[in-house]
Structure formats: structure tokens, C-alpha cells
Amino acid sequence: MEHKHTYDENGKQLCCTPQEGKIYKNAGAKKLVEEDGDRIPKKKKEEHQHSDDDGHDHGETDKTAFQMFLPAIISLVLLLIGIALDNYIKPEWFKDWVRIVWYGVAYLPVGLPVLKEAFESIKQGDVFSEFFLMSIATIGAFIIGEFPEGVAVMLFYAVGEVFQTLAVSRAKTNIKALLDQRPDEVTIIENNQPKKIKAAEAKIGDTIQLKSGEKLALDGELISDSASFNTAALTGESKPDSKNKGETVLAGMINMNSVALVKVNTAYEDSKLSKILELVQNATAQKAPTELFIRKFARIYTPIVVALAVLICIVPYFFVDDYVFRDWLYRALIFLVISCPCALVISIPLGYFGGIGAASRNGILFKGSNFLDKIAEIQNVVMDKTGTMTEGVFKVQDVTIEEEFDKDEILQLVNVVESKSTHPVATAVHEFVGEINNSINLEDTEEIAGHGLKARANGKEILVGNFKLLDKFNISYDVDPSKIVYTVIAIAYDGKFAGFITIADRIKDDAKQAVEKLHSLNVKATMLSGDKTTVVKYVAEQIGIDNAFGDLLPEDKVNKVKEIKARNESVAFVGDGVNDAPVVALSDVGIAMGGLGSDATIETADVVIQDDKPSKIPMAINIGKKTKRIVWQNIILAFVVKAIVLVLGAGGLATMWEAVFADVGVALIAILNAVRIQRMKF
């Protein structure tokens, strides 16, 4: 049975860990990476924290930077004093057990959390963790009398862990900001009086009162005359969005001026924001192949390294004449310190997490880090026209009705028939004709996919759709549809051609710029649409698209994408309609326009563009490319440096200090490289 995630009333995931972590809990990063606290239902959290025998760490995780660095500061001070006493002051009393105790005390603040984590990992069956490696390496250093180096290795490791914690925390800031956008309470108007209730208790039909500066908790319809909203949390767009009476407003929008009234039209759990939160919370559960490989690699690599360290210590005994156990043990310990895979284990997930965070800040939602990898390799972007590259807001341009028909009667009939459709064309007709004539009795209404609508009115058959619909029912007409540039609604009534209505849609402002950027990324652009070929070709010419095909049924779009995939080329499909869901599912990366997009398409898509801007398509590809580049830079850096120092360590040419650089130094460089993506402009 397929696992379904469960969440509490605040949208926190209850059932399982969204992302595994590796940073010891005292640094506070385990909570950030693993969301450890989020696995526990709210009601049980207090008893979980105060139970003494649950086997979990009880260290504080909500610490300031100073508190997190304090153990390292204490160890550093004691270590520096110890080195000064050893090498410069050289008092008589600083030797034997006094010297051991001094360095032991210096070791404890940074060593105890790691020793504890090593013990916990062994109890859970994970023997060869990096905590175990660091523990045996530093304890081994103490055993052979290298006290300062044992303390130094653990000290630098602890400092590295704190920096990792801070890096992960920074990476989560963008996503946490998004998760905080849903208010817990709303003010509804009940019996003409304002009343505060929990947002989850608000029902469809309730009227929400939204004061200036307040966030909307549910999707609804604006019933005030007008209002201005900050939509940055949803779209990444800082420019205020003005809405008029009757327009849709979404959860997460912030009212910017006077009090606004909103009628709830969507249940709390079904709002666009709720779906977005679910996407974000589950995003890190979908691992990229690189990330999965590194995890598997670390599980195999670490035991092999431990075995090699043992061999480095023992095997020379049989081949080296002047074998000294202490020297070869020291080399084995250096080998262990260098071998820790922390640079890979933390920097790679952090790189992907940074990519997801950077994308969400720009109004692009990736449903998993695997899609960052996939989108980076995309060779073709196939897109729908209406609502994707055009506004999806149609206006009637011209009405041509045959002389034998009454123009007003035909328009009234078309208005009633189109009221059964959700297509933007229907809205354009309604705006042009006006109120629906309820005295017209409509029967046997049927939507024919890719063609239009068929119904019976006044006992006669009426067809409203494209000219293919008329062809399907053998209606003859004396018009050449190929010579009409605009979108056309063809009409037939009582078995005869009654006329047509031309409708125009506006190309989005950034559509041309989006195609130019795709070309600069060596990505081919193709447009597929159910709209008539002349309109599709016209739009394609205006924005510079390579190939364009019109008059397509949903299955034709699927076949066109299959043709591209048959050439062994990767495809991303961008769409917004219900009919686009099959082709979105077929493509390597499905991209949905989240503003106007249907729930079915958003659900099926791998990437959601929240503000419907075409320019976000190349931006998403660019984020994927830069994320992948950073991840591979970290992998190569870690492997090259570690390989060099491993060889030097095994040959006795590297000390513990080089080992510390190869482990902690490389990890810090990789982390700093990974967090770069959050500062990049796309």
C-alpha cells in the first residue's frame, strides 16, 4: 500500500523524516536536517522531551551561535594553554598524569557529544559512522601519547559541525519563510460581528475580514470592491497585485491597504498554499541520483577504510625490518581522520537543499532534488499556448452571424452553452454577451475533448467549438478557417452553420524573453496547442519558438512528446490545463503553471511555477544546472584532496594536522561552496 504523509494542524509532517541527517544533535543541526522534532505529534512532544529513558539526545537545539561555539572555545583555550606549557613555559609540574588530565579536560567539551553519538549509532546498528571514526582516531591519539593532536582533531571537527549547522539553518530560511505564511487564526463575520476562529475551522461560504497587514489563510473570492495584495510568499514577486471584486485571492497573500472582505470558496486543506506546503515539505524526500549514490558509497566506503587502517597498522610488521607499532598506529589513525566522508555526506544534500530553497524564493517549487538534476539536462521544452505563453484572458474581437439567424438569439444560446465550460474562452463570451438567459432550457450537454460543446436548446442541436467540431458533425460552411488569425468559436444551430466569433488572447510580457533565454541555454522550444494552427503559428513567430503545432487533441500532444523522446532527447513539458496532465506525466520533467493551472496538472507536475511567468522556465533550468555544477565541484574536491592526503598519510608523510585539513577543511570549503547558490542571481 502506498504511504501517504500525515501532517498536524500547522502543516508539520508527523509520520516520517523528510531528510536524513548526520550532524550531532548538540550542534542543533540534526533537528534542522532531520526535522527530528517534526516527527513527534505535538501533544506527545513534551513527554518525549522529558522522558529519561527514550534513548534520544536531550541536548538543547535552539542555541545562539555563541552557545554552539562555547564548547569549542573552552577546548581551544585549554589546548592553547597546554601547547604553551608543553613547548614554551615547560614547568616541572606539567607532566605525567597532570598533562594527561589537562588534555583530557580540553577534550571532553568537544569529544563527549561525538562519543555519545558514536555509541547511539552503534546501538542502532550503524557501527561505521563518522562519529565512530573520529572517536577511535582521537582516543588512539591519546593512547600513543599525542594528546594535543587528539584534542585538535576533535576540536576542528566540532567547529566544522557548528559551521555545518549554521549553513543548514541558512539554507532552510527561505523554505521556513514559506512555511510560516499560513496563519493559524482568521476573523470571520458572523451575524455582522467579527469573530476569531481557527483557520482550519473556517467553512466554504464564510466571509473573512482581512485587516491591513494580515495574511489570508484560505483561498477565496474578493467581495470588497478592490484590494491590493503582497504575493511575494507565493510568487516571489515583490510588486503589489491589485484585485477587484469577484477575483480570486489565495492563502498566503497579505492585504496591503484598507480592510478587505473575502468569501471562502476552498476548504483549508485544499487551498493552493496547503498544496504548496505539502510540495515543499516532501521535496527533500525525493533524492537526486547523485545524493543516493553518495549515501550508498559512504555505507560501503567507511567499513573499507576502517579495514585498510587496521591493515596499515598490522601488515608492515611482516615486511618492515625496523617496525615500530606506535608509528604505524599513528599512520592508521591519520588515515581514519582523513577518510571521514563528512564533506560529501553534508555538502551534497546541502547543495540540493540550497537549490530547492533558491528556487522557492523565486516562486518555483521543485517536488524533489532529483528534478533539479533532471531539469539541468533538459534538451527540449515543449509548452502549451493558452495560459502558459499567453495570458489566458480572452476578449471577443468580432462576431459574424449568418443573415438567416437572429444575432442576439445565437449569442444568448452560445453564452448558455459556454457557461458549462471552464475554458477561458467561455469567460470571454460571457463578458461580451452579459448575463446568462436562464429561460433557455439546455439539455444533453456534452463536452467533446479537443473540439468543443454539443447540446440541445429549444429542441434543436447546437454546436459551439472549433471548425473541427463542425466537420465531425458534417456541417458545411463557406469560411476558410486558415485565413482567420484569431482564435475562432464556430457555431452551428439546427444542423446549419450559424456563424463564428473571433477571440484574441494576449501574449505574456516575458514570453519572448523566456524563449531567448532557453535558446541561450541550448534548449529547443516547441509549442503544442489545441488552438487553431494559424493562431499557434502567429504566437510562435512573435516570441521566436522553433516549432509550433496547432489543432491538436490531448492524445496528439502525447504523440508529439513521444516523437521527441524517440530521438533520445529529454523533454520538459509546460502546461496549465486538465488536458495537459497526461503529457506532463509522460515528460522527463513536468512543469505546471501554478497560478492559473488546474489542480490535476499541478498534482502531476514535478515543478510548479507559482506566478505563471514563462521567464521562470529558463530560470528553473538555470537553477538546476548551477546546483548540479556545485554538487559535482564538491564531489571532485573531496575525492581529490582526500586521495592525496590518504596516500601521504599511509606513507608517513602527513601528520594529524594535514588529516584535519583533509577532513574538516575540505568539508568547510564544500559547505561554503554549497551555500553560494543561495546568493546567486538567476
The stretch 509-538 carries a mean pLDDT of 91
In contact, 261 and 223? CB cutoff 8 Å: yes
Stretch among 6-20, 54-68, 304-318 having the lowest mean pLDDT: 6-20
The three cell numbers locating residue 648: 601521504
What is the tens place of the pLDDT at every residue in 637-668? 888 888 888 788 777 788 777 777 777 778 78
- Residue 4 pLDDT > 50, yes or no? no
What is the tens place of the pLDDT at every residue in 528-554? 988 778 888 889 999 999 899 988 877
- Who contacts 649 (Cβ-Cβ below 8 Å, separation ≥6)? 331, 334, 335, 338, 658, 659
The three cell numbers locating residue 632: 559535482
The three cell numbers locating residue 423: 475554458
Among candidate residues 381, 383, 377, 379, the one with its CA nearest the CA of residue 624: 377
pLDDT of residue 474: 93
In contact, 68 and 27? CB cutoff 8 Å: yes
CATH architecture of the domain 183-279 equals Distorted Sandwich (2.70)
Strand ranges (E), 166-320: 185-190, 193-198, 207-210, 220-222, 226-230, 241-244, 248-249, 254-255, 260-264
User: Strand, helix or coil at 134?
Assistant: helix
Tell me how far apart the alpha carbons of residues 605 and 593 are, in angstroms, rounded to a whole number: 9
Q: Look-up: residue for cell 508527523?
A: 14
- Residue 145 pLDDT > 80, yes or no? yes
By CB atoms closer than 10 A (0-12, 13-18, 19+), residue 567 is exposed
- Who contacts 384 (Cβ-Cβ below 8 Å, separation ≥6)? 527, 528, 529, 574, 575, 576, 577, 580
Among candidate residues 20, 651, 664, the one with its CA nearest the CA of residue 341: 664
- Residue 40 pLDDT > 80, yes or no? no
In contact, 454 and 445? CB cutoff 8 Å: yes
What is the tens place of the pLDDT at every residue in 579-621? 666 787 788 998 888 664 455 556 677 888 877 889 999 999 9
In contact, 275 and 7? CB cutoff 8 Å: no
pLDDT of residue 3: 40
If pLDDT is split at 50, 70 and 90, which confidence band does 578 have? low
Q: Are 183-279 and 390-504 the same fold in CATH? A: no
Query: Which amino acid belongs to residue 199?
Result: A
Whether 384 is a known active-site residue: answer yes
The stretch 90-109 carries a mean pLDDT of 93
The three cell numbers locating residue 583: 503529457
What is the tens place of the pLDDT at every residue in 175-231? 555 555 567 788 999 888 889 998 888 899 999 999 888 888 888 899 988 888 877
- Residue 66 pLDDT > 90, yes or no? no
Tell me how far apart the alpha carbons of residues 171 and 176 are, in angstroms, rounded to a whole number: 9
Q: What ranges in 264-361 are assigned the alpha helix state H?
A: 272-283, 289-314, 325-339, 342-361
- Domain range list for the chain: 63-177, 183-279, 390-504
Among candidate residues 586, 563, 555, the one with its CA nearest the CA of residue 573: 586
pLDDT of residue 607: 87
Q: Active-site residue among 38, 206, 241, 384?
A: 384
- Over the chain, what is the mean pLDDT? 79
What is the tens place of the pLDDT at every residue in 382-434? 998 877 888 877 789 889 999 999 999 999 999 999 887 767 778 888 889 98
| Cα radius of gyration rounded to whole Å, the chain | 32
If pLDDT is split at 50, 70 and 90, which confidence band does 495 have? very high
Query: Which amino acid belongs to residue 371?
Result: F
**Secondary structure (DSSP) of 4-16:** ---B-TTS-B-SS
Query: Given this structure, which CATH class describes domain 390-504?
Result: alpha beta
Tell me how far apart the alpha carbons of residues 281 and 365 are, in angstroms, rounded to a whole number: 11
Tell me how far apart the alpha carbons of residues 507 and 497 are, in angstroms, rounded to a whole number: 30
Strand ranges (E), 508-588: 524-528, 547-549, 571-575
Angstrom CA distances, 426 to 241, 436, 441, 570, 612, stand at: 24, 12, 18, 35, 20
Proportion of the chain above pLDDT 70, given as a percent = 80
pLDDT of residue 357: 79
User: Strand, helix or coil at 439?
Assistant: coil
DSSP code of residue 38: G
Tell me how far apart the alpha carbons of residues 47 and 311 are, in angstroms, rounded to a whole number: 47
Angstrom CA distances, 58 to 18, 24, 29, 46, 109, stand at: 21, 12, 14, 12, 16
The three cell numbers locating residue 609: 511555477
The stretch 376-385 carries a mean pLDDT of 93
Using CA atoms in the order 128, 132, 136, 141, what is the torsion angle rounded to 10 degrees? 130
Q: Which residues of 413-442 are buried (b: 16+ CB within 10 A; e: fewer)?
A: bbbbbbeebebbbbbbbbebbeeeeeeeeb
- Residue 97 pLDDT > 60, yes or no? yes
Among candidate residues 412, 410, 402, the one with its CA nearest the CA of residue 479: 402
